[in-house]
Each structure stands twice: as C-alpha cells, then as structure tokens.
Amino acid sequence: MYIITKFAVRGFTQAAAKELAKYNITVNAYCPGIVGTGMWDRIDDVMTNYEGINKGEAFKKAIESISLGRPEKPEDIANFVSFMALSNSDYMTGQSVLIDCGIVFN
C-alpha cells in the first residue's frame, strides 16, 4: 500500500499542476528519502520485531543505500522547499522531485 500512496501523490501533483496552471499556480511535490528523525526510531523498532534483527540494524542497512552514506537532515528538505518558494522555480510545475541522495539509482 505504501508504494501505491507514493504513486498517487505523483499523479495528484501532475493533475493539480495541469488544472491550476491557468491560474498561474504551480504544483510540485518533494519525495524525501531516509530522514534521520524520531520517525526512524519507530520504524527501526517495528523492523526489529518484524525481521528479528537487533535494534539499529534496519536504520544502518537503510543508510547503506544512500550515496553520501548519511541520512538526510531536516535541513536538506528545508533547503529544497526554500528554493521552491522563490521566483527561481516559477517555471517548474507538475514535478515530483526525489530528494534521496541517489537511493533510487543505487
């Protein structure tokens, strides 16, 4: 179900961009990767029980798929969102931007 909702966000972003363009409104989405926040503590707890691994192993394994070898920081997302709020991004619409440091191509 998770992947279905991710794809739905992309479709909604494109549809909304198409519909709202006539009002000079742009619509874009950002798709973060593995952000080192408290949410990952909970994910790691669940994965520990589900996969029978030690606490911290799920997070460590996930980090291994990141090109820079570190989790995202909230500031990494904030920097992109700040760019999208500037007029420099006015010609961009209907895009779902992966901010995952290369997880998809690894």
Kindly report, residue by residue over 51-96, the tens digit of the pLDDT: 889 888 989 988 998 988 999 999 999 999 999 999 999 999 999 9
- Please tell me the total count of domains within the chain: 2
Q: Is residue 106 part of a domain?
A: no
Active site residue 2: yes
pLDDT in tens, 15-48: 999 999 999 999 999 999 899 999 988 888 888 8
Q: Is residue 49 part of a domain?
A: yes
Q: Is residue 105 part of a domain?
A: no
Residue-range definition of the domain harbouring residue 51: 34-71
The C-alpha atoms of residue 7 and residue 34 are separated, in whole angstroms, by 18
Shared-domain flag, residues 19 and 3: yes
Shared-domain flag, residues 28 and 43: no
Shared-domain flag, residues 48 and 59: yes
Residue 106 predicted with pLDDT over 50: no
Catalytic residue among 2, 23, 50, 91: 2
Q: Is residue 13 part of a domain?
A: yes
Query: Side-chain half-sphere of 47: how many Cα atoms within 13 Å?
Result: 16
Q: Is residue 23 part of a domain?
A: yes
